[in-house]
């Protein structure tokens, strides 16, 4: 399972030898460890730029300061935005004017950009500052949603910034840095808080090149805690005996949740160990059987009364080209990866899922880009992208969010058995030149299952290190 190039990078001697003979080594990513903190960006220096009549400056400044960051106003910042920050600075402090040698993040508030000439501001900001971005740094662009732009000029600027973000991500990936963009809808501005915290912190180490659309489709919860964000919430994780499901359960439990752990009876021993370690509630059942949906729901109702979130993680592969695929291989993949999710989800929604709960489905890059020998698997994973889009529209009024996570190449037992060539392609054909870890997927899921993500619904977010596949 080890990535030999990452091992070379970790040892100073082998690193020196490898670089002297021209082997490009992947960067070591800084990953967040332990429970989330209220001040998750403690002392991180963040350079903020912006242009025009922006719509998020107040919430951006307060978000960064509440999270413990130090804000540096870029000298190139336009006077209109600058005066807003200076006002905030007078009021609450924590905002500085002098330039720094290195910044943890470069954040550009582009919500005021209205026409292509004004895009020059983004050129100046990044041209002047990109060399000051520290390793494992973050670039974040915040733009107005295309739908809310009043003119064609404004709409093309919003859309164009996506291309800008995707390209700059490729320029900074070799240092372990990432670039992402938030599109914010009108009247959803305050909902960027949780998203900004997630993207700028080390929770998002392997989330690169992504578009986060913040809307007010889901009704807002009353409280949005960023410390013990899942305190006493009941969260079901399917396929929790190993791999991504196990790690996700651990991270969710760490945020204070009661974890309900489901897996196949054959995985009973492993599931028992996970349940013991996390003080979780194990359920053994087979999602191949449609009658399991009611059994699982009844158990949750009896033991907990209600559910606050579900992670539909259990999934299988039965890879064959369509010509060689047996009918049962088609049927099994469709049952576990799609029909069981639809059926179980309906049963949970009708009986135990509470208002303001969160639903996360595990999709895959194969569902976005397709993959040789995976017609069955890719169909189910693409179908889930449609599922979250349509269901989110139905349940938003109950404050329920529904999203999909699409992992790229993740180092698990499922990928360890792939041929070396396929593994190497999976790892290297990405901005960060390496595979992700189950915890990278788990952190994104934990964010999407917690209240701070309430602006994000109906979406698919990749956790792929900026994989070139399907980009
Ligand atoms: N590992 C990757 O690179 C990757 C990439 C993209 C998507 N994914 C998706 O992420 C999810 C987890 O992947 P993983 O790599 O951790 O897989 P895994 O095979 O390690 O774990 C899957 C778990 O689901 C359980 N499961 C399977 N069939 C079941 C059934 N009928 N009833 C109950 N439980 C069942 C298994 O027992 C297992 O514990 C899957 O949906 C997978 O498709 C993984």
Centre of ligand 1 to C-alpha 427, Å, is 19
Centre of ligand 1 to C-alpha 159, Å, is 35
Tokens of 37: 């903190």
Q: Which ligand 1 atom sits closest to the C-alpha of 407?
A: 6
Backbone angles phi, psi at 223, to 5 degrees: -125, 140
29-214 and 234-463: identical CATH topology: yes
Q: Which ligand 1 atom sits closest to the C-alpha of 244?
A: 16
Active-site residue list: 377
Q: How many CB atoms lie within 10 A of CB 265?
A: 9
Tokens of 248: 């996700």
Q: Which ligand 1 atom sits closest to the C-alpha of 238?
A: 34
Centre of ligand 1 to C-alpha 398, Å, is 29
Centre of ligand 1 to C-alpha 155, Å, is 40
Name which of 22, 26, 21 is nearest 7 in CA terms.
26
Going from N- to C-terminal start, the domains of the chain cover: 29-214, 234-463
| C-alpha torsion sign, points 313, 318, 323, 327 | negative
Residue nearest atom 18 of ligand 1, based on CA coordinates: 243
Residue nearest atom 5 of ligand 1, based on CA coordinates: 407
Note the CATH number of domain 234-463: 3.40.50.720
SS3 content of the chain, % helix, strand, coil (to 5): 45, 20, 35
CB-based contact 56:81 (threshold 8 Å): no
Centre of ligand 1 to C-alpha 247, Å, is 12
DSSP 335: I
pLDDT of residue 92: 65
Residue nearest atom 43 of ligand 1, based on CA coordinates: 315
Name which of 123, 149, 146, 158 is nearest 49 in CA terms.
123
Give the whole-angstrom CA distance, residue 239 versus residue 31: 24
pLDDT of residue 91: 65
CA 109 to chain centre: 21
Q: What is the pLDDT along the chain (471 residues), one digit of tens a residue?
A: 577 777 767 777 666 665 666 666 899 999 999 999 999 999 899 999 999 888 998 899 999 999 999 999 877 776 767 777 777 767 666 777 778 899 999 999 999 999 999 999 999 999 999 999 999 999 999 999 999 999 999 999 999 999 999 999 999 999 999 999 999 999 999 999 999 999 999 999 999 999 999 999 999 999 999 999 999 999 999 999 999 999 999 999 999 999 999 999 999 999 999 999 999 999 999 999 999 999 999 999 999 999 999 999 999 999 999 999 999 999 999 999 999 999 999 999 999 999 999 999 999 999 999 999 999 999 999 999 999 999 999 999 999 999 999 999 999 887 888 888 888 888 988 999 999 999 999 999 999 999 999 999 999 999 999 998 876
Give the residues surrounding ligand 1 with Cβ less than 6 Å away: 239, 241-245, 263-264, 267, 286-288, 313-316, 336, 362, 364, 407, 409-410, 412-415
Burial class (CB in 10 A: 0-12, 13-18, 19+), 29: buried
Give the mutation target among 236, 239, 319 for probing the ligand 1 site: most ligand atoms within 8 A of CB.
239
| Residue with token string 């990109």 | 130
pLDDT of residue 77: 73
pTM: 0.95
Tokens of 370: 């397709």
Centre of ligand 1 to C-alpha 361, Å, is 12
Residue nearest atom 36 of ligand 1, based on CA coordinates: 239
Q: How many CB atoms lie within 10 A of CB 290?
A: 13
CATH topology of domain 29-214: Rossmann fold (3.40.50)
CB-based contact 81:57 (threshold 8 Å): yes
Give the whole-angstrom CA distance, residue 262 versus residue 197: 30
Name which of 407, 425, 422 is nearest 461 in CA terms.
407
């Amino acid at each position: 399972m080890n990535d030999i190039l990452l091992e070379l990078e970790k040892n100073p001697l082998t690193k020196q030898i490898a670089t002297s003979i021209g082997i490009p080594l992947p960067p070591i990513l800084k990953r967040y460890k332990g429970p989330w903190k209220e001040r998750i960006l403690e002392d991180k220096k963040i350079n903020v730029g912006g242009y025009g009549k922006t719509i998020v400056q107040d919430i951006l400044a307060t978000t960064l300061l509440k999270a413990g960051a130090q804000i540096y106003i870029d000298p190139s910042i336009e006077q209109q935005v600058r005066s807003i920050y200076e006002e905030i600075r007078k009021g609450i402090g924590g905002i500085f004017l002098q330039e720094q040698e290195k910044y943890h993040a470069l954040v550009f508030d582009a919500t005021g950009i209205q026409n292509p000439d004004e895009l020059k501001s983004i050129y100046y900001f990044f041209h002047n500052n990109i060399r000051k971005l520290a390793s494992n740094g973050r670039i974040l662009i915040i733009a107005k949603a295309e739908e809310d732009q009043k003119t064609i000029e404004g709409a093309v600027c919003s859309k164009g910034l996506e291309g800008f973000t995707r390209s700059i991500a490729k320029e900074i990936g070799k240092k372990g840095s990432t670039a992402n963009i938030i599109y914010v809808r009108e009247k959803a501005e305050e909902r960027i808080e949780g998203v900004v915290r997630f993207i700028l912190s080390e929770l998002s180490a392997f989330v690169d090149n992504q578009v986060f659309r913040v809307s007010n489709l889901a009704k807002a919860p009353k409280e949005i805690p960023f410390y013990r964000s899942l305190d006493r919430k009941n969260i079901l994780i399917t396929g929790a005996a190993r791999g991504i499901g196990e790690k996700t359960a651990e991270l969710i439990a760490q945020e204070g949740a009661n974890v309900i752990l489901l897996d196949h009876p054959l995985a009973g021993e492993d599931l028992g160990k996970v349940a013991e370690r996390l003080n979780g509630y194990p359920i053994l059942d087979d999602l191949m059987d449609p009658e399991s949906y009611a059994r699982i729901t009844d158990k949750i109702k009896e033991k907990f009364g209600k559910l606050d979130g579900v992670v539909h993680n259990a999934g299988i592969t039965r890879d064959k080209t369509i010509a060689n695929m047996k009918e049962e291989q088609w049927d099994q993949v469709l049952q576990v990866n799609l029909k069981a999710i639809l059926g179980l989800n309906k049963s949970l929604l009708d009986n135990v899922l509470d208002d303001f709960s969160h639903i996360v489905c595990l999709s895959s890059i194969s569902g976005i880009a397709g993959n040789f020998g995976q017609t069955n698997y890719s169909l189910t994973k693409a179908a889930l992208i449609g599922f979250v889009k349509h269901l989110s529209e139905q349940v938003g009024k109950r404050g329920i969010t529904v999203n999909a996570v699409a992992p790229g190449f993740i180092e698990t037992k499922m990928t360890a058995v792939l041929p070396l060539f396929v593994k190497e392609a999976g790892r290297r054909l990405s901005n960060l030149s390496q595979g992700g870890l189950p915890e990278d997927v788990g952190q994104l899921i934990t964010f999407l299952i917690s209240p701070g993500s309430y602006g994000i619904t109906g979406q698919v977010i990749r956790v792929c290190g900026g994989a070139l596949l399907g980009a």
